Structure 1
Amino acid sequence: MNESLERSKGKPYHHGDLRNALLQAALELLTEGGAAALDLRKVARKAGVSHAAPYRHFADKQALIAALSEEGFKRLAERIQSALQEAPDSSYAQLLSIARAYVGFAVDNPWLMREMFSGGVINREAYPDLYRASKAVFKFYVEAVRQGQARGEIVEGDPGELAGVLWSMLHGVSILVIEDQMHPYADGPEGLESVTRSCIERLYTGLGRS
């Protein structure tokens, strides 16, 4: 968990840490009861502050959800970046590392993942910081494709379009897993690894140069 969001139970937030305390409280409520549990008054109560305190940072519930989604994309980016740093220098290995990071993040943060992509709830482009955070994640996919093309390991084509194929597959698998629609194939760590690896192998068969 991001250290800036950690908060000891029962301890009040420290001066200057109100926004992080509110976000952490919101994340806990989201995990406990889904999006329906998010309410600025409930968040304030969870954080141990006055009902008016959240409005210093969030104009309304939509702004709070945008901030939560932004934090989610930042955490996802950190997870993907960390995975890529440990991956061997080959396109297949990098794609598999990205896939493991993405699917693993979804499994560990199902409600946050759902909220990050609930386009019907908020207009992402209306919140510049959220929009930039989501695009930062997509850049990892684009760069992986570009590097693969430069090595002659991935077919030619618009890197952004090919990266979109990768993201679509990763997100589809992730949502199916967290909605328990991949039973029994994705059951347990071994099942999840098998499904993730299989998807990348099939995708790479299409993207990779034989």
Structure 2
Amino acid sequence: MSARTPSRPYHHGALPQALVAHAVELLDEGGAEAVSVREVARRAGVSPSAPFRHFPDRAALLAAVAEAVAVDFAGVQLTAVESARALPFRSLGTAFAHYALTYPHRFALLRGALFGAQRTPALEEGHQAFTRYITETITAGQERGELRRTDPELVRIAAQALVYGLSQLFADGYLDAARADVLIEQVVDLFGLGVLAPDSPARTEG
């Protein structure tokens, strides 16, 4: 399910997806505090008690929202990699930061749900799959001669630390969001100088 496109109206049997989609709308509008079961039910056009047939409490609804947002977040990054003309690994990092900047409330929710120590089974499964994908992307870049031949896991951790920290600086207001496009590109490129292969063509581009 795309967290960006709520289903309206919903078909019989698709109420959970519709409730989550409306909850994502509320999340985007006012953060996790704005997500209430009653308002989600109202927007879906069902009784206040209907959501509880699928989500026992608000925490369960927010967990489902986090799972939907994580799928959307990963999908945006996958699309960026697949459409990259060069250096897919770079596109992965910039897509991460731009998503966090575009959807600050989603990023705030993911900070604890996805990047914290405790994940739901669905989040853990998706996290492990996406981690493998990132590692494979790094390995492929190394085999093409784009990236240094060093431990792919170390490169992944360093890259994620960079874009996560950069995203958080924007979220906290420490960095000016008006300069985001330029800063994201410059910071990612500066990091790239450390992981690019010595003879990578990207070192002399631009």
Normalised by the length of structure 2, the TM-score is 0.83
Shift of 1:5: 4.5
Superposed CA deviations along residues 150-179 of structure 1, whole A, max 9, x for unmatched, are: 233323333122201111111111122233
1:193 aligns with 2:181: yes
Distance 1:3 1:108, change over 3 A: closer
Superposed CA deviations along residues 34-86 of structure 1, whole A, max 9, x for unmatched, are: 11122222322232212221122222222222211111111112111111112
Task: Name 1:177's counterpart in structure 2.
Answer: 170
Distance in 1 between residues matched to 2:90 and 2:40, nearest whole Å: 37
The 10-residue stretch of structure 1 (145-154 or 21-30) with the greater mean CA deviation from structure 2: 145-154
1:79 aligns with 2:73: no
Structure 1 residue identity aligned to 2:94: R
Maintained 8 Å contact 1:5/1:23: no
Q: Helix, strand or coil: the match of 2:162?
A: helix
How many residue pairs get aligned? The number is 198
Distance in 2 between residues matched to 1:162 and 1:65, nearest whole Å: 32
Q: How does 1:97-108 map to 2 (within 5 A)?
A: 97-108=91-102
Structure 1, unmatched stretches of 5+, are none
Distance 1:4 1:15, change over 3 A: farther
Distance in 1 between residues matched to 2:49 and 2:196, nearest whole Å: 55
Shift of 1:123: 6.3
Distance 1:94 1:4, change over 3 A: closer
The 10-residue stretch of structure 1 (37-46 or 77-86) with the greater mean CA deviation from structure 2: 37-46
Task: Name 1:157's counterpart in structure 2.
Answer: 150
Q: Helix, strand or coil: the match of 1:117?
A: helix
Task: Name 2:38's counterpart in structure 1.
Answer: 41
Q: How does 1:5-84 map to 2 (within 5 A)?
A: 5-8=5-8, 13-84=10-81
Q: Which runs of 4+ in 1 moved over 4 A?
A: none
CA RMSD in angstroms comes to 2.6
Maintained 8 Å contact 1:100/1:193: no
The 10-residue stretch of structure 1 (106-115 or 43-52) with the greater mean CA deviation from structure 2: 43-52
1:166 aligns with 2:159: yes
Distance 1:3 1:112, change over 3 A: closer
Superposed CA deviations along residues 84-125 of structure 1, whole A, max 9, x for unmatched, are: 112124xxx2132112211221122111111012259x8643
**One of 103, 110, 114 as aligned partner of 1:116:** 110
Structure 2 residue identity aligned to 1:26: A
Task: Name 1:95's counterpart in structure 2.
Answer: 89
Distance 1:63 1:161, change over 3 A: farther
Structure 2, unmatched stretches of 5+, are 199-206
Distance in 2 between residues matched to 1:113 and 1:4, nearest whole Å: 14
Distance in 2 between residues matched to 1:3 and 1:62, nearest whole Å: 18
Task: Name 2:203's counterpart in structure 1.
Answer: none
Task: Name 2:2's counterpart in structure 1.
Answer: 2
